[in-house]
Chains A and B, each alone.
Chain A
Amino acid sequence: MKARAAAAALLIAATYGPSAYADPDDYVALPGVEYGERELELRFGTATKSGEDRASAASLAFGYGLTPWWATEVYAKYNRSGSEATRFDAIEWENKFEIGEPGQYFVDMGFLVELEWANDRAEGYELRIGPLFQKDFGLVQTNFNFLLERHFRSDEHEVTELGYQWQVKYRWRPEFEFGLQGFGDVGKWNDWDPHDVQTHTVGPAIFGKFPLGGQQVFKYNAAVLFKASSAAADRTLRAQLEYEF
């Protein structure tokens, strides 16, 4: 059964081109923007799947809150497969637009636009867009994003694929919050893959922030994700560290 699922996933990847599956270092984007804030960010993720090489990814980024409603960030992305050397993967330009003020509407909303230039020209360009939602219930914060992703000028057949991210966390203390995170991809946006070739992961996550004085803040979040569908990685460890100043 696993072999059939893996074969089907490979067939779909070969048929539809570069995968929209989330990178191991992907994170749950939040709708809020912090005006005037600069940040240095490090993301890291590593995923293991039975019978396959370990897939790892890391990103270094600089971000800035350009306006009260627009934050932009540029990433240098790296990846590594198995025992191969770490290689430069892509440059990504992320833009986040906050819609309204937090708490103004029934749900807090934002919109994400990411453009990625792959180092491997055969992968072309990648555009990822989608709405970001947040709803608080007292000390419980929930987020859900759905994101459309498409490659352009790639050597493979280009389709628009649908992915999602979510998290639920209990905001216990500023230094330590805990909850669950999940990521997934369902395939072509209007013609979803069979469930056994979709990728869904879910697992526990921790979050926190430490003021360093003045405008300096250190933030972290990390999760261990387990597969919730047979095509997903067995285990993914992901982390995001941010230094705001």
Chain B
Amino acid sequence: MTVRLLVAAYALLGVTAVLAAGEPEFAITLRDRQFTPAEIRIPAGVKVKLVVDNQDAGPEEFDSHALNREKVIPGKTKATIFIGPLAPGRYPFIGEFNATTARGEVVAQ
């Protein structure tokens, strides 16, 4: 019975998945293995869209344990990353392939 309920609940979640639309958008640029801006302020409690423009030649992986996101961005391409709604706080992220220089934080407030 429990299994049937779990299956039904997750099926319902899948079926009722609603298309996201109209999220506030924030741009981040990766150039010379550094994120600009390194601190992105977003509204707390709202889902937002980060558009990361990798202007370097090589790939980078946007990685954030706090945000539970890992996204490889090939060189000279852009990637969209959805985050939130977040509780107020600071959420660090790194470029995993260049973790010493590519660092930043999302600040939800």
Contacts and interface: CB of A to CB of B under 8 A. Distances in A.
B46 to A, nearest CB: 12
Interface stretch (B37-45, B67-75, B101-109): B67-75
A168 to B, nearest CB: 11
A82 interface: no
A135 B3 CA distance: 18
Contacts of B61: 34, 215
A34 B65 contact: no
Contacts, number: 73
B20 A104 contact: yes
Interface in A117-175: 131, 133, 135-136, 138, 141, 144, 146, 164, 166, 171, 173-174
Contacts of B81: 101-103
A217 B14 contact: no
A77 interface: no
Given A36-B59, A133-B14, A186-B3, A104 B96 contact: no
Given A102-B82, A164-B7, A214-B97, A107 B87 contact: no
16 contacts: A34-B61, A36-B59, A37-B72, A101-B82, A103-B81, A104-B20, A105-B19, A109-B14, A109-B17, A136-B68, A144-B10, A166-B6, A171-B65, A171-B68, A174-B65, A215-B61
Interface of A: 32, 34-37, 65, 68, 101-107, 109, 131, 133, 135-136, 138, 141, 144, 146, 164, 166, 171, 173-174, 184, 186, 200, 211, 214-215, 217
